[in-house]
Amino acid sequence: MSILGSLKWDDIFIVPFFKEPSLSTGIAAAAGGIVVLGALAVLVLLTVKGWWKPLWTHWITTLDHKKIGVIYIVLAAIMLIRGILEAVVMRAQQVAPAPGFLSVEHHAELFSTHGTIMIFFVAMPLLIGLINVVMPLQIGARDMEFPFMNAISLWLSVGGAALVMASLVVGHFETGGWTAYPPYTGIKLSPNEGVDYWIWSLMLTGIGTTLSGINFAVTIYKQRAPGMTLMKMPIFAWTTLCTAILMIYAMVPLAVASVMLALDRHAGFHFFTATQGGNMMNFANLFWLFGHPEVYILILPAFGVFSHVIPTFSGKKLYGYTSLVWATVAIAVLSFTVWVHHFFTMGQTAHLNAIFGIATMTIGVPTGVKVYNWMLTMWRGKLRFSTAMLFSAGFMFTFVIGGITGVMLANPVISFAAHNSLFLVAHFHNMLIPGLLFGMFAGINYWFPLAFGFRLDETWGRRSFWLWMVGFYLTFMPLYAIGLMGAPRRMAFFTDPAYLPWLLVSMVGALAVLGGLTSQVIQVWVSIKNRESLMVPAGDPWDGRGLEWSLGCPVPEHDFTTIPNITSREPWVEAKERGLRVMEPTEFVDIHLPKNTSMGFLVAMVATVGAFGLIFEMWWLGALCWIAMFVLVLIRSYDTDWEKTVTAEELRADYERHKHVVETTPKVSLDDEFTTKNRGLVFDMEKAV
């Protein structure tokens, strides 16, 4: 066993291309090249601009929940670009004359990384990031309950994503899809490092997510402002709580399944092998015992976002608060009772299938109730079509169509005819693109000023919405059709000429989605360029309703100068109705905030290097990093100088400063909401007495 483990010369990304030049190896080499050049470009940029020090002191070592949230979202954005580019390449592969330009194996790597990235490194960081930025501000907290653990969660997720990116440069990713079912992913049939990349990148981010779940739940239990009972909490906090509980329970089966798979592969165990007592069906059970609650981990926070965006831009109270809370809780509980519907075709008895089919449809009840509640929130309102509102309305319409096909698939007999087909692929994209991405896009457009102090450009935001919306329908409606005609998923090429027209439309759709993504990149670019005119220093740029909008934008590190007393569900609306523009201060006291520390970053980076060692069977490196992590945590544990104090005087000064800004900012009418007149404090002049 060499010191470099199983690492070979051929694992370097350009070597296969020079050995056997083809379009397929060329694309692999180019993708690896983009990663390497991209990383180099970032290093050069940081050096030329002299940004290393600010990056280190303000971002990498930060324990501020808002900044941690922003880094999560930046991570998700980078990975989203890769995920969408992969999708476009796969669509192009299927319209190219068969057998296309990718080898079957290369195509398999693409759909495996696409799925893994979109779920674990786009969807999860997006929602965890948004929760980090917003949830403490909504419940009147100054930070997460465990800020240091929050940093560890973040950098573990970054480490996991870095491993997936590294697989473009060194070695291969696995080819068994994001679910990685053995025995295909066992050592016999997948002998290279691909499955280990999957196992260890998921392990890192999985631990990070479990810790995030604990952090969110404890923060909500312990850090709510005085008077904010559970039934006075904003819905986003409720959906966060349910998501957090799901994270705590659901990530464990995934960790267990992937450790067992790792033991099978490298330690001669037989958990999931075909012989010697192994049973691959247990992997499917464990995986989906994680995988189904995961679907609701992804979707619940977006439901929370819609429950704030829709009332704000309807100028109206949320319809059916209690109903929404119970629907959320019901979904969270039921999500643990339906996992078998992912493998109705495994040969279990009809009665078992029927019970899981019925349980699956039962989830449709609270979900349907939610959609009706949002619709009734809009009813009798005054609707303003901001980017966030457009994404919310687009979600409602599109999600219902996914709900129809979802209930169809809940019937095991229909599942027999649609499982493993493009119909299924179309269905889950139909749930997750509106149900997760649109929600997160709405949330980011809506809450962006809290983190950065300026609004995002509306013109490019609306363009991005229409491109995403049209792109979604063009891409996935054809896949429903050819799925019903019998087209299996994960197929590198089709020989049936009847599929081609549908695949061409789908290709056009994928390009429109790419256009949507490009518009969002432009949107951010334009907004940064014009940030001076988009600033909303007085806060509350949309006549908002939640506590978070009582703060100035951007929100300072300590969040609240004084923690407000809560007496109702919409304290900020009531304050505004009483003519207040700033929440009345309660008591100014000295507060303690955690000092910045590099330990979270270091622990996670050491863990990442160790995981890389395990992937390439450099066991010594894995062991070394394990010890190093332990030592780092030990050092941190003996650090007594980890707090800094913000004095009552400083807080009072900050309060006065904010009050001054508010008092000197003219009130803005809803008509000027999306213009440069909006410096914060938007008001419905027609309603104001």
Contact positions with another protein (CB under 8 A) in 94-113: 98-99, 103-105, 108
Report the residue number, 372 or 683, with the smaller CB distance to another protein: 372
Pairing label, strands 643-646, 591-594: antiparallel
State the number of CA atoms in the 13 A half-sphere of 379 facing the CB. Answer: 8
| Residues 176, 104 contacting (CB under 8 angstroms) | no
CA distances from 285 to 76, 342, 412, 451 (A): 28, 9, 17, 41
Q: Binding to another protein by residue 396, rule CB under 8 A? A: yes
Distance CA 139, CA 414 (A): 44
Nearest distance from C-beta of residue 241 to another protein, angstroms: 22
Contact set for another protein, span 313-332 (CB under 8 A): 314-321, 323
CA distances from 463 to 314, 330, 359, 455, 460 (A): 21, 36, 39, 16, 5
Report the residue number, 283 or 452, with the smaller CB distance to another protein: 283
Distance CA 80, CA 126 (A): 10
Report the residue number, 43 or 346, with the smaller CB distance to another protein: 346
Binding residues for another protein, total number by CB under 8 A: 96
Distance CA 338, CA 246 (A): 14
Q: Binding to another protein by residue 343, rule CB under 8 A? A: yes
Q: How far apart are the first and last CA of the chain?
A: 80
Nearest distance from C-beta of residue 103 to another protein, angstroms: 8
Type of residue at 367: T
Report the residue number, 250 or 396, with the smaller CB distance to another protein: 396
Part of the chain binding another protein (CB under 8 A), chosen from 257-265, 374-382, 456-464, 583-591: 374-382
Which of residues 33, 368, 556, 585 is near another protein by CB under 8 A?
368
Cα torsion angle, 122, 127, 130, 131, sign: negative
CA distances from 261 to 161, 181, 264, 346 (A): 20, 10, 5, 20
Nearest distance from C-beta of residue 355 to another protein, angstroms: 9
Distance CA 5, CA 141 (A): 48
Report the residue number, 221 or 397, with the smaller CB distance to another protein: 397
**Cross-strand bridge partners of residue 170:** 12
| Contact map string, positions 149 to 188, toward another protein, x by CB under 8 A | --------------------------xxx---xxxx---x
Which of residues 349, 578, 587, 640 is near another protein by CB under 8 A?
349
Neighbouring CB atoms inside 10 A of 369's CB total 16
Which of residues 189, 580, 623, 688 is near another protein by CB under 8 A?
189
Report the residue number, 376 or 624, with the smaller CB distance to another protein: 376
Nearest distance from C-beta of residue 322 to another protein, angstroms: 8
Distance CA 405, CA 423 (A): 9
Nearest distance from C-beta of residue 119 to another protein, angstroms: 17
Q: Binding to another protein by residue 27, rule CB under 8 A? A: no
| Contact map string, positions 530 to 569, toward another protein, x by CB under 8 A | ----------------------------------------
Neighbouring CB atoms inside 10 A of 3's CB total 8
Q: Binding to another protein by residue 73, rule CB under 8 A? A: no
Q: Binding to another protein by residue 340, rule CB under 8 A? A: no
Distance CA 271, CA 269 (A): 6
For the chain, the residue count is: 689
Distance CA 174, CA 108 (A): 8
Report the residue number, 322 or 640, with the smaller CB distance to another protein: 322
Report the residue number, 14 or 369, with the smaller CB distance to another protein: 369
With H, G, I as helix, E, B as strand and everything else as coil, classify residue 684: coil
| Contact map string, positions 403 to 442, toward another protein, x by CB under 8 A | xx--xx-xxxxxxxx-xxx---------------------
| Contact map string, positions 288 to 317, toward another protein, x by CB under 8 A | --------------------------xxxx
Nearest distance from C-beta of residue 684 to another protein, angstroms: 9
Q: Of 364, 365, 373, which is closest to residue 392 (Cα–Cα)?
A: 373
